[in-house]
Structure 1
Amino acid sequence: MSFAALTRLRQGLAALRTDHLERRRLLLDGAQGAHVTINGQHVISFCSNDYLGLAADPALIRAAHAALDQCGVGAGAAHLITGHHRLHHDFESAFAGFIGKPAALLFSTGYMANLAVITALVGRHGELFADRLDHASLVDAAQLSGARFSRYRHNDLAQLESQLADSTAQDRLIVSDLVFSMDGDLAPVDALLDLVERYDAWLYLDDAHGFGVLNQGRGGLTDAARASDRVIYLATLGKAAGVSGAAVAAQPDVIEWLIQKARPYIYTTASPPFLAACLLESLRQIEAGAARRARLSAHVAQLRQGLAGLKRGVLMPSDTPIQPLVIGANADAVQLSKDLLQRGLMVPAIRTPTVPVGTARLRITLSASHSADDVAQLVEALHALD
């Protein structure tokens, strides 16, 4: 007997290949870094979010080794059973102090954190307002929350205000990336804060790509947002922090509510305690990381200056380590990525549905662990292929 559902899956996979939308996992050997071995080929990588080069930093590795001897490998239980280790607690306290919020909560992943916060704060009597370019995890959480879900054009505060003015929901929550992961631009934090104050709403900011990089490493929060009880802040810890997980910082009652009500927090095993020890060391490195951030800023300036006048693609405006080079068609972006790989330069092609149709791009991400020569090689190759 034929299996119709499996046949449809195979047809769908064939369509992805035809449309240049098929994704494949790459096999990494060794540690993460600016120079890596992928599928057996040594390349300069411009596709990692390890912005400060901490993923293989010796200080973090030493912290991991020391903690393994102290607390072993696994947490063994959920946080609300026996899995909440003192190292988790110490990191939460240190993170809250570093960010400038009164309390914080550690999650195993950023995706889980977004699901947890949004579904705990709003339900069927609420309404959620999201930027069109928000990360997929925010969109998924909004859909799972049961709340009314309204989306506004990217950074279009006039449309957002109109939606807020029309809302009759009991609870309102605006959610936004702080640094948008595919464009590299920033949310207008203080303007969003003004709206939540005028329309009695929460503001949830996902700072996956700003934490560790912006504002002496403290991320993209403004002073006003840091002081506001309405603002809930998320930082993912597998990017600039170089480790794993995510932390949410907010007013203490918000954190306590998440502990009591956030299902992705309650019903999962705690992350290994030794990772929290690594994160504590990561915070120390970020706080003392002015030289890393200066080197990263110099790479951004070098790349942007070097690609001025490039005919094949448009470099979007961004002061962050995310430097998107818009190519247009999926096939053209994929081919350019392959051409660079042949030269030992790894830059991913980002296609629909991650970005809108006709805006496929190379997403160049820079790290403090790159050298000026690494950046120069990429600039030279892009001009040669122009």
Structure 2
Amino acid sequence: MRAMLKPSVYTSTKCHLRANMSSLAKFLHPELDAIKSSGTWKSERIITSPQSMEIRVANGKNVLNFCANNYLGLSNNEEVVAAAKAALDEYGAGLSSVRFICGTQKIHKDLENKLSTFHGRQDTILYASCFDANAGIFETLLTADDAVISDELNHASIIDGIRLCKAKRFRYKHRDMVDLEQKLQESSSSRLRLIATDGIFSMDGTVAPLSKIVELAKKYNALTFVDDCHATGFFGKTGRGTEEYFDLLGKIDIINSTLGKALGGAAGGYTTGPKELIDLLRQRSRPYLFSNSLPPPVVATGIKVLDLISSSTKFLERSASNTERFRSAMTSAGFTINGDGHPICPVMLGDAKLASSFADKMLGRGIYVIGFSYPVVPKEKARIRVQISAAHTTEDIDRAVNAFIEIGKELKVIS
């Protein structure tokens, strides 16, 4: 039986902990104050409703949501929610274990098979998130004899995943194929060379030049890796992502993506590719081996969304038309909108405090958007990242544009 601490010892321990915490707080205060004074403090707004196009915030007000990754509007879809509830009843809340011990249910294999079919790949492995998928791939696949060549603006999860591996690391200038080719030449002595890129760059809504990347990979006998989180399910003719957008289905060696955006918006990520690679990841990938299995309700949402988008393109067509409407109206009004026709529509403002103030004023007009600033984006490149969904109505789009115009004139962003 565990021994009880004497009251005097317990009191002494509590005092020691308080002293340590007080010392830590004093150490951290200057950095926290600097973040606040720079205008880059990120407050977390509280939502008291399901994720949808209209959400309720903590003050009880309903607002239009224009900053979620809910590209197909399926996060609160009735059929998707019903599938999650059914899975909860049939399979329980969770597995309390990792996959290789006692954490694999039939539903997990069903989703992996559906994802493989959707992407036209041999096999797929599920993770708790795509961040975990990116943390698991590079360390498992690459050795000190290999090289990884990464776009300088790749997502933080790709950067962190690469840090875990022992391969030689090269960064090429953003979407610069001349620089990529130079890095391929510099790494010619490596056993394996892996070109790593986002399919869609999430802060800018820009598309990686996959045609050129695939061409260079073939020329220099390199492998290709694409993180397609901001494309899977809604980009390309049938939602197969960036490689379909470029008519390159099946040409990318490894694809990592997520269930947490267009595919239901719950959680979960995955790697899809050759069976041998997936077999190796099941044996060696640390985030897979040491993380609990995805909860059955989450798995069920992914399955249901794949069924919905595989049988109809109506959701992605609506997303595309809404995107065109917003981009066209905002550009005509005088705003600078980054991106390549993607539902990520960054409204470029430059100044961090301006972006934060602009977003607050938008919320006051019933439009929920967030200002992005350093370190999420480069200094002097602050923006409001608007994200368009298939579930937005034309009235929603027009209301958001009108609010942008009113506030843009008030803050002298546009004339």
The TM-score, its normalising length taken from structure 2, stands at 0.89
Please say if residues 241 and 286 of structure 1, whose CA atoms lie closer than 8 Å, have aligned partners that are also in contact: no
Q: Distance in 2 between matches of 1:379 and 1:169?
A: 51
Label 1:339 to 1:79 Cα distance change in 2 as closer, same or farther (>3 A): same
CA distance in structure 2 between the aligned counterparts of 1:306 and 1:227, rounded to whole angstroms: 36
- Is contact 2:84-2:296 (8 Å) kept? no
Any conservation in 2 of the 1:101–1:226 contact (CA below 8 Å)? Answer: no
Q: CA deviation at 1:196?
A: 1.9
Match runs of 1:325-344 below 5 Å: 325-344=347-366
> Which of these residues, 158, 170, 180, is aligned with residue 178 of structure 2?
158
Say which SS state the counterpart of residue 10 (structure 1) adopts: helix
1:321 to 2:343 alignment: yes
Task: From 79, 87, 107, give the equivalent of 2:107.
Answer: 87
1:166–1:209 distance in 2 versus 1, CA, 3 Å: same
Q: Does 1:265 align with 2:288?
A: yes
Aligned AA for 2:294? S
- Is residue 360 of structure 1 aligned with residue 382 of structure 2? yes
Partners of 2:66 and 2:368 within 8 A in 1: yes
What CA distance in whole angstroms lies between the structure 2 residues aligned with 1:162 and 1:319?
29
The CA distance in 2 between the partners of 1:356 and 1:68, in whole Å, is 43
C-alpha deviation, 1:81, in angstroms: 0.9
What's the counterpart of residue 9 of structure 2? none
The one-letter amino acid of 2:146's match is G
The 5 A counterparts of 1:122-141 are 122-141=142-161
Aligned residue among 186, 194, 212 for 1:173: 194
Amino acid in structure 2 at the alignment position of 1:339: K
Tell me what 2:79 maps to.
59
The offset of 1:4, in angstroms, is 5.4
Which deviates more from structure 2 when the two are superposed, residues 288-297 or residues 159-168? Answer: 288-297
Q: Distance in 1 between matches of 2:307 and 2:292?
A: 26
Match of 1:48 in 2: 68
Partner of 2:243: 221
Shift of the alpha carbon at 1:118? 1.5
Offset from partner CA, 1:260-315 (integer Å, 9 cap, x none): 1111111111111232222111101121342222221121111122112434x411
Shift of 1:224: 7.1
- Asked if structure 2 preserves the Cα contact closer than 8 Å seen for 1:52 and 1:240, the reply is yes
Q: Distance in 1 between matches of 2:361 and 2:138?
A: 41
Distance 1:317 1:304 in 2: 10
- Aligned-residue offset at 1:39: 2.3
1:276 to 294, 299, 305: 299
- SS of the residue corresponding to residue 227 of structure 1 reads coil
Measured after TM superposition, the shift of residue 88 of structure 1 is 0.4
Q: Distance in 2 between matches of 1:109 and 1:75?
A: 16
Correspondence for 2:168 among 143, 148, 151: 148
User: Could you tell me how far apart the structure 1 residues matched to 2:73 and 2:268 are?
Assistant: 17
Contact 2:194/2:223 (8 A) holds in 1: yes
Alpha-carbon distance, 1:5 to partner: 4.6
Identity within the alignment, %: 29
Q: State how far apart, in whole Å, the 1-side matches of 2:225 and 2:127 are.
A: 16
Q: How many residues align?
A: 384
Structure 1 portions without partners, runs of 5+: none
Report the counterpart of residue 294 of structure 1 in structure 2.
317
SS state of the match for residue 154, structure 2?
coil
Is the 2:107–2:299 contact (alpha carbons within 8 Å) kept by the matching residues of 1?
A: yes
> Distance in 2 between the 1:264 and 1:202 partners?
22
Partner of 2:405: 383
Secondary structure of the structure 2 residue equivalent to 1:326:
strand
What value does the CA root-mean-square deviation take over the aligned residues? 1.7
Offset of 1:22 from its aligned partner? 0.9
The aligned residue for residue 12 of structure 2 is none
DSSP-derived class of the 2:214 partner: helix
The answer to whether the 8 Å contact 1:53/1:368 transfers is yes
Q: In the alignment, what sits opposite 2:134? A: 114
Larger radius of gyration: 2
Tell me, yes or no, if the aligned pair for 2:49 and 2:57 is still in contact at 8 Å: no
Q: Could you tell me how far 1:140 is from its partner in structure 2? A: 0.7
**C-alpha contact 2:135 2:160 (8 A) present in aligned 1:** yes
| Long gaps (5+) in structure 2 | 1-18, 410-415
Tell me, what secondary structure is at the counterpart of 2:206?
Answer: coil
Match in the other structure for 2:331: 308
Deviations 1:230-261 (A, max 9, x none): 61011211101113211211011011111111
What is the alpha-carbon distance in structure 2 between the residues aligned to residue 224 and residue 267 of structure 1? 37
Match of 1:217, SS?
coil
**CA distance in 1: counterparts of 2:296 and 2:310, whole angstroms:** 22
